[in-house]
Amino acid sequence: MSKKDWWKDAIFYQIYPKSFKDTNADGIGNLQGIKEKIPYIASLGVDAIWISPFYKSPMKDFGYDVANYREVDPIFGNLEDFDLMLKEAHSYNLRVIIDMVLSHTSDMHAWFKESRQNKTNPKSNWYIWANPKEDGTPPNNWLSVFGGTAWEYDCKRGQYYMHSFLKEQPDLNIRNEEVQEALLNEVEFWLKRGVDGFRLDAVNHCMHDDKLRDNPPKKIDWDNFKHCQYKNPCPYDMQHHIYDKSRPENLEFMTKLRKLTDKYKDKMMVAEIGGDDCIKLSAEYTATKDRIHTAYNFALLGWSDGAEEIKNAVEEFFSYADDYSWPAWAFSNHDFVRVASRNAPSNSENIAKRAKMLIALLCSLRGTIYLYQGEELGLTEADVPFELMQDPFGIFLYPDSKGRDGCRTPMVWDSKKLNAGFSRAKKTWLPIPKEHKKLAVNIQEQDSQSTLNFTRKFLKWRKKQIEILKGDIEFIKAEDNLLIFTRKLNNCKLLCAFNLGDSCISMDKKDKLDILVGYGLENSVLDNKNKIELLPFGVLFAKFI
């Protein structure tokens, strides 16, 4: 499987294990379920798998609150199950990266249990502790992403501890060299086990201002506020987060991670970067060969419509990028409303056409590509009733938003089976929408025009397009619903055009073009003498003659 920089032109398939496949009838997906579906994943034509956390955890934030980095939570199986799954993936030439949560742990982690005992124990400085102000209030104005203050008072220790997310997720003090060494040991445990790399969760949260200075306020344009998760600004949006995350000192820790990873052949890391300047930060975190290989930002995870936004995000990254910087792009993941439901068409036929177009568009951008489970089926955001909601962030935002449960509902494998083939349990951890069952794998496999079969055809075709895999990108037009760019490598040049809307768009044929067909998009364009007609949600690929 050795190939230098294999990750650059790779397509990763993200698996959210709780919702992928359940093999023991408890209503929750597990590692054996992933192993069972490796042949399916390989059939898509992807190159690698990213698996969201499966570590031992109290599941306050569904595994992103790690209680033990070296143990598999019993709901997912055990280390032997992981090893067998990894071996199966490698037998299909699929690489596997896993989530590594380094900025915080669970409050049930042994490190935190020791740290909170008193101010003199060996791990007393392993987390961010601070005294109250004279009036008993928190040390500064930092806020939690999930709502409220980022500080929780601990009566036993008589101090506040910081938590960027839930209060059950205390932030590690990564300025402490002992903490850095401990985390590097946890990373190496999985490298020795054979994983191909890591997705570094919220990695720009890893270091905080040592003086604990207040974040300055950020002016909000209330009338034009736009966020993909909720309608109105949360208090977190009202600060410039220059002191509680994205500290420049954090890059020194990134170099240590890279040095460790480089000890093992053909490994990679992708950084999850969120923040006010997430694109610029993504370029910065990948700027040299001793930092992170590629970075995954939120620029397109919030995208809903309009060509210009995509153009601007890609061009902005490469405006900052130097010789090493490399982006990673995604439209969907486990934290954001599914892209199929953002600015969705009114009828199911157009929803399917748009889903195909979006896969073609995403997989044609310059960078490493991430597809989220169910994206290949065109799954839409599920409407989970309040009484069945699990996500603490969704419960906090309700009713303005329903949080993240809607993108985390179980995969639909077989419409004829109980729970669409996901589980034999009477009840699954999140409900399965009726509309998803109509998009189940068994149904789509029988339909040559399905989103699933399109994905397979298109990804197979993509592997042969050297311009897409290796070429530069240049945008020609990004106006309303029309996006046109070229991918060029040496003398090979490919035109890529996308109709993001439900009306036909005409393109002048100024150059001699060899229009490419036969990879699932045969009904996307009409080629006339002087014009090319892009049909609703149509896609055009053409070689310059």
Asked if residue 278 is part of any domain, the answer here is: yes
- Tell me: pLDDT of 1 over 70: no
Angle 250-261/278-285 helices, nearest 10 degrees? 50
The arithmetic mean of pLDDT across residues 261-285, rounded, is: 94
The arithmetic mean of pLDDT across residues 299-320, rounded, is: 93
- pLDDT band at 248; cut points 50, 70, 90: very high
The arithmetic mean of pLDDT across residues 450-462, rounded, is: 96
CATH assignment at residue 291: 3.20.20.80
Residue 544 to residue 148: CA distance in whole angstroms: 55
Same domain, 405 and 470: no
Of 346 and 455, the one with more pLDDT: 455
- In the chain, the number of structural domains is 2
| Rg of the chain in Å (alpha carbons) | 23
Angle (CA) 358-359-360 rounded to 5° is: 90
Residue 65 to residue 101: CA distance in whole angstroms: 8
Q: Are strands 11-15 and 48-51 parallel, antiparallel or unpaired?
A: parallel
Window from 30-39, 262-271, 506-515 with minimum mean pLDDT: 506-515
201 given a catalytic annotation: yes
Same domain, 429 and 470: no
Q: Exposed (0-12), middle (13-18) or buried (19+): which is 423, by Cβ within 10 Å?
A: buried
pTM of the model: 0.96
- Tell me: pLDDT of 229 over 70: no
- Tell me: pLDDT of 181 over 80: yes
Please report the pLDDT score of residue 159 as a whole number: 98
Asked if residue 122 is part of any domain, the answer here is: no
Please report the pLDDT score of residue 316 as a whole number: 96
Q: Are strands 95-101 and 197-201 parallel, antiparallel or unpaired?
A: parallel
Q: What percent of the chain has pLDDT over 90?
A: 83
Domain range enclosing 531: 464-544
Q: Which residue has the tokens 């987060």?
A: 241
The arithmetic mean of pLDDT across residues 54-77, rounded, is: 97
Tell me which amino acid residue 220 is.
Answer: I
CATH assignment at residue 528: 2.60.40.1180
The arithmetic mean of pLDDT across residues 190-201, rounded, is: 98
- pLDDT band at 321; cut points 50, 70, 90: confident
Most confident of 81-85, 298-302, 491-495: 81-85
- Tell me: pLDDT of 226 over 70: no
The arithmetic mean of pLDDT across residues 65-86, rounded, is: 98
- pLDDT band at 221; cut points 50, 70, 90: confident
65, 201, 284, 391: the catalytic one is 201
Same domain, 231 and 328: yes
Please report the pLDDT score of residue 151 as a whole number: 98
Same domain, 385 and 471: no
Please report the pLDDT score of residue 2 as a whole number: 60
Asked if residue 358 is part of any domain, the answer here is: yes
- Tell me: pLDDT of 529 over 80: no
Average pLDDT of the chain, as a whole number: 94
Phi-psi region of 28 (alpha: psi -120 to 50; beta: other; left: phi over 0): beta
Of 346 and 158, the one with more pLDDT: 158
Residue ranges in 45-120 assigned as alpha helix (H): 79-91, 110-115
272, 284, 335, 376: the catalytic one is 272
Q: Tokens at residue 529, please?
A: 């003498």
Please report the pLDDT score of residue 89 as a whole number: 98
Please report the pLDDT score of residue 231 as a whole number: 59
Please report the pLDDT score of residue 21 as a whole number: 98
- pLDDT band at 33; cut points 50, 70, 90: very high
Same domain, 418 and 480: no
Residue 407 to residue 429: CA distance in whole angstroms: 13
Query: What is the SS3 assignment for 343?
Result: coil
Angle 250-261/177-193 helices, nearest 10 degrees? 30
Beta-carbon contacts of residue 233 (< 8 Å; ≥ 6 apart): 220, 222, 225, 227
Same domain, 397 and 492: no
Of 195 and 343, the one with more pLDDT: 195
Asked if residue 138 is part of any domain, the answer here is: no
Q: Tokens at residue 262, please?
A: 């480089």
Report yes or no: 273 and 282 within 8 Å, Cβ to Cβ.
Answer: yes
Same domain, 94 and 201: yes
Query: What is the SS3 assignment for 171?
Result: strand
383 given a catalytic annotation: no
The arithmetic mean of pLDDT across residues 234-254, rounded, is: 94
Same domain, 287 and 374: yes
Same domain, 468 and 419: no
The arithmetic mean of pLDDT across residues 343-355, rounded, is: 90
- pLDDT band at 230; cut points 50, 70, 90: low
Please report the pLDDT score of residue 15 as a whole number: 98
Asked if residue 386 is part of any domain, the answer here is: yes
Compute the CA torsion angle 288, 53, 37, 352 (nearest 10 deg): -70
Same domain, 394 and 492: no
Among 410, 433, 456, identify where a domain stops.
Answer: 433
Asked if residue 141 is part of any domain, the answer here is: no
- Tell me: pLDDT of 220 over 80: no
Report yes or no: 498 and 492 within 8 Å, Cβ to Cβ.
Answer: no
H or E element: which one contains 159?
A: strand 159-162
- Residue 350 CA: distances (Å) to CA of 43, 221, 309, 442: 25, 34, 22, 21
Please report the pLDDT score of residue 23 as a whole number: 98
Asked if residue 301 is part of any domain, the answer here is: yes
Among 433, 456, 473, identify where a domain stops.
Answer: 433
Same domain, 494 and 402: no
Query: What is the SS3 assignment for 287?
Result: coil
Per DSSP (E only), the strands in 197-257 are 197-201
- Tell me: pLDDT of 180 over 60: yes
Asked if residue 162 is part of any domain, the answer here is: no
Among 394, 412, 433, identify where a domain stops.
Answer: 433
Tell me which amino acid residue 310 is.
Answer: I
Q: Tens of pLDDT along 395-449?
A: 888 887 788 999 999 999 999 999 999 999 999 999 999 999 999 999 999 999 9
The arithmetic mean of pLDDT across residues 464-472, rounded, is: 96
Same domain, 213 and 312: yes
Please report the pLDDT score of residue 415 as a whole number: 98
Q: What percent of the chain has pLDDT over 70?
A: 97
Q: Tokens at residue 243, please?
A: 């002191």
